[in-house]
Amino acid sequence: MHLFSALEKRVPFLAAGLLALRSKAVQRRVSSMMSSSHPVAAVCQVTSTPDKEANFTACKRLVEQAKENGASMVFLPEGFDYIGSSREETLQLSESLDGDIITRYTHLARKLDVWLSLGGFHERGHEWKSDQRIYNSHIIIDGQGQIASVYRKGHLFDVELTGKGVSLKESSFTIPGPRLVPPVQTPIGKVGLGVCYDLRFPELSSALQRHGAEILTYPSAFTVATGSAHWEVLLRARAIETQCYVLAAAQVGAHHSKRMSYGHASAVDPWGLVIGDCGGTDVGIAMVQIDLQGLRDIRRDMPVQQHRREKGYYCSLD
């Protein structure tokens, strides 16, 4: 895609021909996926704003496109519902799980018969009327439109990078989730749930892998500063150490005057290879095949988990 873009800019009269070649390449790739026995996942990249209706329209279009191209499960990023421009706006726009936004996504999943990973959703807390705080919730909806699992983000992004202009304190309005949730059996494999900043904590991914996860997912809205430095490295590290697929839907571009996201919604295979990347500028989808037999072969040939020592060994320094 980068080669196409460069040529289009330098030789404008080739643009039409290159577009046709690109279209044929995409068609061949989609045709190959649809004829394969491996399930297909769609990892989406969006640019959410405070406009919830526009965000739903954009995400719905991507979900429909993914389904048309053979996806069994579609992954949307953190803040798929909206990204507010202030603490007050973020809280005011929040909803409960039985509110309009999640209801619309359950109807969409049922209509298309596709599983959805929605993370994170701005979910009003259980004591909303008294404390006006929310959860950052990752929701899995099955192909019948039922909520299969809800994970509430446990690690909150409280970071002040003065030299890079990054200042976010998620804990000022967000409640940390109380626990991990078991991996969910889906049409593409057993999916373990995280959200964004959770990516930095290998204990979480290891725990999910021990409980059967074959795929880890981290829907995110990484800042440009942290994304350019750490995003791909962290995704590949989590994949390599757990021998899982890692699917990370992402936000990209300017959400409003105060916030931008890094993009590069990605998929990494259990060997640590990046097999999908949406780039750092545009809304889009990465379509990836999930080869569970290949995952099992990697775990068989390099049985890392069998080589782990007993828990006491790792606590011996304590």
Q: Taking Cα atoms as reference points, which of 49, 109, 116, 131 lies closest to residue 82?
A: 49
Amino acid at 144: Q
What is the C-alpha to C-alpha distance for residues 281 and 272, in angstroms, rounded to an integer? 24
What is the C-alpha to C-alpha distance for residues 98 and 95, in angstroms, rounded to an integer? 8
Q: Taking Cα atoms as reference points, which of 204, 116, 85 lies closest to residue 153?
A: 204
> 20: helix, coil or strand?
helix
C-alpha 274, offset from chain centre: 14
Q: Say which residues have a Cβ less than 8 Å from residue 220's Cβ, sequence separation at least 6.
A: 77, 78, 195, 196, 199, 231, 248, 249, 250, 251
Copy the structure tokens of residue 35: 């004829």
82 contacts 55 by C-beta, under 8 angstroms: yes
67, 95, 153, 278: the active-site residue: 153
Ramachandran angles phi, psi of 137, nearest 5°: -110, 135
59, 196, 244, 278: the active-site residue: 196
59, 78, 123, 278: the active-site residue: 78
Look-up of token digits 């757990």: 242
Run of H or E residues at 231 = helix 224-242
311 belongs to the catalytic site? no
Catalytic residues: 78, 153, 196
